[in-house]
Chains A and B, each alone.
Chain A
Amino acid sequence: MAKPKVAFYWNASCGGCEEAVVDLAEDILTVVDAVEFVLWPVAMDFKREDVEALDDGEIAVAFLNGSVRTSEQEDWARLLRRKAGLVVAFGSCAHLGGIPGLANFSNREGVFEASYGYLPSVDNPEGVVPQTETKVKEGTLELPEIYDTVYALDQVVDVDYYLPGCAPPADLILDAVNAILSGELPPKGTVLAPTKSLCDECDRNESKPDKIEISELKRPHQTMIDPEKCFLAEGIICMGPATRAGCGERCINANMPCRGCFGPTDEVRDQSAKFLSALASVLDVDEPEEMERLSESIPDVTGLFAMYSLPVTLLKRRKLEK
């Protein structure tokens, strides 16, 4: 029987998701044996033409990491969607937009104004800004256009499964690959990770009182962090209640609160909204002034609660004037 064809591709990615695959080390070799890679630009030399030459649906599964923010990335996502039976959004960026999705607080113009304008090390008296086409004396140089908005993968193409995490942990990657190879597939749209919340698996959950009543919010650098106690019970924002389990409590192990890279659990659409309501229910405040004082202690609620998911929140992006 022919081996199933697999494609691995990166859009606007930091390379960490690729490292996560490389980190599988020996484990990956059994996978490599069982499949035929038809695209993996980081590791192998296949061209767009090679992918285009395949029949539609001929690739069994395409794993895509990174968010989408240029026309070229969008083209690639569409091409792979057509050629692949299954598309898996791999990692927080493809799943939710990820940290690069915070760019939706601004737009292309804002990014350019900073990078080539007001930042203090820039020396640019003539106000040069990179162009999609530049005539130099020998010819023309081209650069791809950068979009105003950063997208999660499913805002651009239909996605079958999601592998959460920045980057996804080894065990979940292997489970996903094995499930796909064995054909034992969960319903379309499933996030390939536990359905519980991070709190359900967190060691510190036991120290969480039944009813947390926070009268003061603290930022992690403002207080000595107890290595045993639940962060929320201490008044430190921890995204655990609104975040899917499965990462192995990586940040908690380093005695730092969760920032939500695994995204929301199944029932929840907007992780930041869910967290806001979870927080409201544990806040021990009656007076509106007190509420205000509390929110003042977290001066960037959206950036914190939607750190990994801004492109898929109901908010989506800053309103574009003009």
Chain B
Amino acid sequence: MSKRITIDPITRLEGHGKIEIFLDKNGDVANAYFQVPELRGFEKFSEGRMCEEMPRITPKICGVCPTAHHMAATKALDALYHVTPPRTAILIRELIYNAFMFEDHALHFYFLGGPDFVVGPDAPKAERNVLGVIAKVGLEVGGRVIEMRRRVRNIITSLGGRVIHPVCGLPGGVSRGLTEEMKEEFTATAAEAVDFGKFSLDLFAKVVLENKDYVDLIAGDIYKHKTYYMGLVDDENRVNFYDGMIRVVDPDGNEFAKFAPADYLDHIAEHVEPWSYIKFPYLKAVGWKGFTDGPESGVYRVAPLARLNASDGMATETAQAAHDQLYETLGGKPAHNTLAYHWARLVELTQAAERLVELMDDPEIMGDDIRTLPTEKPDEGVGVVEAPRGTLFHHYKTDERGVITQANLVVATVNNAPGICMSIEGAARGLIKGGKVNDGLLNMVEMAFRAYDPCFACATHSLPGQMPLVVEVKGPDGEVLERLSQFVED
């Protein structure tokens, strides 16, 4: 008898991602589909808008990573108007951007992904949440995480007006500079952020790396996919979140391509499937071969581990040391282990913190020259940043008045969509045999999701660090044969 399993991450609610697993007549997995049942049409309704409003319109794509859209849009406007912001403005943008990477990575590690490790992947479900983390590491640490995020987020609020949907980006610069008061506050915050980064790495070492089971889990074959990797790098091929060249490495870690953001169309394209509103990007030079890995498949991955894989190393000292330790433990670069995304996230969090210190140490950040007024006619521009969840492309074309005639957005999580599908299918195949749905399936699928930190799965918005996953096993007539939920239903 053939069965069908539906995993709807938010309990039958549409809008954020859904998994369908089909079993064959032996009860083994025939196929698994990850669907995104939503499309809001930002690209279409950007047409006709005045381009300078794009940094205020596009953040509404996502309330969790609005700063990434804000910056990508602002950089696209720089390119569109052929204007280079003064150095002070770039430093301020980088300050906001690294603050954002830091607080978002901290949110994910401590509240969302971390519970799997800090509390333990096999701990009772009721404890695998932020409260469980606090119970394990102490209330003091919990308070520290909240306080640290508040302070770092305050950098964005002070300069961007609002932390949810900042507004300060303009073509050629930013709308405001730092005050002496801010300087004092942010300098202290930055120093503390570095401590916090080291503390987080130590915590990871103690709780995860000293536990052989966890290390085996990370280094093991679960969710291992030998794909291409993509990320922004600086002129020494080091990880950069705000700017640089896009570098792609092949599954063996060799440089496959390195290109300026403006050339992205030469390198990537998006495949369309009729069963999902999301598109599936791939490397043009390799081609779309379906949801499969290896050098023959154009599937590439983005976000923390992918960025580390695509680089020669980190841009700051402590982060570099942590980077080295990661690859030593995992047996060299590149690492294909999806669960190591969590570890890479902490390495990046540390780089973001160290970068905040460098930026606050730079006297030019206090400069008055924060804008270059555009003088050239607008035409076309691409803006790329590394969002916490991966490379983010904004590409606009305008008429002479700066009115958008075409907007193309390749959003961070979309780049990872093929990889997410593969990880889910892998977990399903590994855990469903002979029609028997293993109870661990939910956890495994959930952990695969969490490693990528996908926006649309609502994992990122989930307060207790649990994604409400439900699996329904359906018979051929659609009747529910079995229902699993990872929540304790009382």
Binding site for B on A (CB under 8 A): 10-20, 22-23, 25, 40-48, 69-70, 72-73, 76, 98-100, 102-106, 110-111, 113-116, 118-124, 128-131, 134, 136-139, 141, 143-144, 146, 166-167, 219-225, 227, 250-256, 259, 298-300, 303-304, 307
Contact A166 B165, beta carbon cutoff 8 Å? yes
Mask of B363-403 contacts with A, CB within 8 angstroms, 1/0 = 00000000101100000000000000000000100000111
- In the complex, which residues of chain B have a beta carbon less than 8 angstroms from the beta carbon of A102? 45, 49, 57
Contact with A along B169-185 (1 / 0, CB 8 A): 01110011000000000
Choose the segment among B114-122, B205-213, B226-234, B264-272 that binds chain A (4+ C-beta atoms closer than 8 Å): B264-272
B165 cross-chain contacts in A, Cβ below 8 A: 16, 166-167
Number of A-B contacts (CB under 8 A): 267
Contact A251 B275 (CB under 8 A): no
With both chains docked as a complex, state the minimum distance between the C-beta of B63 and any C-beta of chain A, in angstroms: 2
* Interfacial residues, chain B to chain A (CB-CB below 8 A): 2, 4, 10-15, 20, 22, 24, 30-31, 33, 35, 37-45, 47-50, 52-53, 56-57, 59-64, 66, 77, 81, 146, 150, 159-168, 170-172, 175-176, 264-265, 268-277, 279, 281, 288, 371, 373-374, 395, 401-403, 406, 408, 410, 455, 458, 460-464, 466, 468, 470, 485, 487, 489
A130 to B35, CA, bound (A): 11
> Of the candidates B146, B176, B470, B485, which one forms a contact with A25 in the assembled complex, judged by CB atoms under 8 Å apart?
B146
A254 contacts B408, C-beta separation under 8 Å: no
Given A45-B468, A119-B408, residue A254 in contact with residue B50 (CB < 8 A) = no
- Does A98 lie within 8 Å of B274, measured CB to CB? no
Chain A residues in 8 Å Cβ range of B2: 138-139
Cβ contact of A130, chosen from B40, B52, B276, B288, cutoff 8 A: B276
User: Per a CB cutoff under 8 Å, which of B10, B60, B265 touches A16?
Assistant: B60
* Contact (Cβ within 8 A) A143 B275: yes
Q: Are B164 and A167 in contact (CB under 8 A)?
A: yes
* 25 pairs of residues in contact across A and B, judged by CB atoms under 8 Å: A10-B15, A15-B63, A16-B62, A16-B165, A19-B164, A22-B461, A43-B463, A46-B11, A105-B48, A114-B41, A115-B44, A116-B279, A121-B410, A139-B4, A143-B277, A167-B63, A251-B167, A254-B161, A254-B162, A254-B167, A254-B176, A299-B401, A300-B48, A300-B50, A307-B53
Tell me, rounded to whole Å, the shortest Cβ–Cβ distance linking B286 to chain A.
13
Report whether A114 and B44 are in contact in the complex, using a CB–CB cutoff of 8 Å: yes
Q: Which of B2, B11, B61, B164 has the most CB of A within 10 A?
A: B164
Distance in angstroms between the alpha carbons of A23 and B154 in the assembled complex? 12
With contacts A42-B462, A224-B373, A254-B176 taken as known, whether A106 is within 8 angstroms of B41 at the C-beta atoms is yes
Partner of B171, one of A16, A221, A225: A221
B484 to chain A, nearest CB (A): 12
B residues near A256, Cβ cutoff 8 Å = 161, 167-168, 175
A121 touches B164 (CB 8 A): no
Across the A-B interface, give the 6 residue pairs with the lowest CB-CB distance, nearest first.
Answer: A16-B63, A254-B161, A111-B41, A43-B463, A138-B22, A123-B269
Cα of A116 to Cα of B14 in the assembled complex, Å: 21
> What residue in chain B is nearest A301 (Cβ atoms)?
B50
Q: How far is the CB of B280 from chain A (nearest CB, A)?
A: 10
Which of the residues A130, A252, A254 comes within 8 Å of B275, measured between beta carbons? A130
Bound Cα distance from A41 to B279, whole angstroms:
26
Given A41-B13, A45-B468, A299-B403, residue A18 in contact with residue B60 (CB < 8 A): no
User: Within the complex, what minimum Cβ distance (angstroms) separates A289 from chain B?
Assistant: 18
Interchain nearest-CB distance for A175 vs B (Å):
19
B164 touches A20 (CB 8 A): yes
- Tell me if A17 and B63 are in contact (CB < 8 A): yes
Q: Could you tell me the distance between the alpha carbons of A20 and B165 in the complex, rounded to whole angstroms?
A: 11
A16→B69 CA distance, assembly (Å): 13
Contact of B160 among A16, A19, A70, A254 (CB under 8 A): A254
Q: Are A43 and B269 in contact (CB under 8 A)?
A: no
Most chain B beta carbons < 10 A, residue from A47, A167, A255: A255
Contact, CB under 8 Å: A12 / B462: no
CB distance from B45 to the nearest CB of A (A): 4
> Contact partner of B168 among A70, A119, A254, A307, CB < 8 A?
A254
B265 in complex: contacting residue of A69, A103, A120, CB < 8 Å: A120
- The docked-state distance in angstroms from the alpha carbon of A219 to that of B49 is 13
Residues of A within 8 A of B402 (CB): 219, 299
| Residues of chain A contacted by B406 (CB below 8 angstroms) | 118-120
How far, in whole Å, are A47 and B461 apart by their CA atoms in the complex?
18
Residue from A12, A121, A124, A139 having most chain B Cβ neighbours under 10 A: A121
Q: Which of A14, A19, A40 has the most CB of B within 10 A?
A: A14
| CA gap between A253 and B41 in the complex, in Å | 30
Residues of A near B276 (CB, < 8 A) are 130, 143
Complex Cα distance, B270 from A307, in Å, reads 30
Question: B46 — nearest CB in chain A belongs to which residue?
Answer: A102
Q: Are A129 and B274 in contact, CB atoms less than 8 angstroms apart? A: yes
Q: Looking across the interface, which residue of chain B has its beta carbon closest to that of A17?
A: B63
Give bound CA distance, A104 to B77, whole Å.
25
Q: Which residues of B contact A73 (CB under 8 A)?
A: 14-15
What residue of chain A has the Cβ atom nearest to residue B64's Cβ?
Answer: A15
A139 CA to B22 CA in the complex, in Å?
8
Inter-chain contacts of B279 with A (CB < 8 A): 115-116, 122
In the complex, chain B residues whose CB is within 8 Å of the CB of A166: 60, 165
A100, B162: Cα distance in complex, Å: 19
In angstroms, Cα B249 to Cα A283, docked, is 57
B461 touches A15 (CB 8 A): yes
Q: Are B11 and A219 in contact (CB under 8 A)?
A: no
Q: Are A123 and B374 in contact (CB under 8 A)?
A: no
Please tell me if the beta carbons of A103 and B40 are within 8 angstroms of each other in the complex.
yes
